[in-house]
Amino acid sequence: MTGLKKIKPSARLAEEVYDQIYAGINSGVIDPDERIVQERLADELEVSRTPVREALLRLEHEGILVREKHGRFVVRRFSKEEIVQIYSAREAVECHALALLCEMSTSKLIKKLCDVVEKEEKDSICYTINEYYEANKHIHRTFVKETGNRFLLEMFDMIWNRSVGFVVFSDMANENLPISLTGHLELCDVVKSGTPREAADTMRRHIREGLTLQSSVLKVQADTVNL
């Protein structure tokens, strides 16, 4: 895990340790298959074990880490069934959000959505895995945020944040990453000129295309294991 920054003592030490571990998972500094040992992590960050333990337990509670024997932790991996459920939950939130945007459609709203999409998709060929993840999340979060419904946004954050989205996303093959960052302008178009039902259906197709990409990765992984 070399690459994590050393932490200076403060009143919010456990939170800073949490942020470092979370960032380490998202950036790839902490490998998904790496065993995270409390004592080793405390030494690297140059802090006591107490804030490290608090941060690890919080990450476990949020479903990011799984505890193994002897108090070690690993990044949680998701089964095919869980991934299908994650995408299903996304449909429930994001399809409804796009339908609401369709009802609220104004030229100002459409411009804002298109500006975000065009900015994030620009030069995507140069993106890292984490940048692809963040770009996709920002686009989809904007669609939900612009509804003005904070409860929908909280549900979105629960699904996409806490590294759940990134861990699932990071399994995607490199050649599939550029594909994952396409099709968003179609979502803007349907908000502009479609009906709420058409908007929901368009978002559903978009999300299911992402699930298809994920499913192909899982199949390749399973075939590799069975060789």
Instruction: Considering only residues 227 and 22, tell me which one the structure prediction assigns the higher pLDDT.
Output: 22
At residue 33, the pLDDT reads 78
Q: Same structural domain for residues 108 and 170? A: yes
At residue 163, the pLDDT reads 46
Q: Same structural domain for residues 26 and 127? A: no
Q: Mean pLDDT over all residues of the chain?
A: 83
pTM (2 decimals)? 0.72
Tell whether the model's pLDDT for residue 202 goes beyond 90.
Answer: yes
- The answer to whether residue 23 sits within a structural domain is yes
At residue 174, the pLDDT reads 57
What are the C-alpha distances in Å from 181 to residues 3, 55, 126, 151, 176? 28, 32, 12, 26, 9
* Confidence label for 56 from pLDDT (cuts 50, 70 and 90): very high
Q: Same structural domain for residues 46 and 114? A: no
Token output for 211: 């699930």
Tell whether the model's pLDDT for residue 4 goes beyond 80.
Answer: no
What are the C-alpha distances in Å from 133 to residues 2, 130, 164? 23, 5, 11
- The answer to whether residue 24 sits within a structural domain is yes
Would you call 181 helix, strand, or coil by DSSP?
Answer: coil
Query: pLDDT tens digit string along 161-191?
Result: 754 555 666 555 555 666 667 889 999 999 9
- Domain with 195, as residue range(s), is 80-225
Q: Tell me the torsion sign for CA atoms 93, 101, 199, 173.
A: negative
Token output for 118: 């065009």
Query: pLDDT tens digit string along 82-115?
Result: 888 989 999 999 999 999 999 999 999 999 999 9
Q: Same structural domain for residues 44 and 140? A: no
At residue 79, the pLDDT reads 80
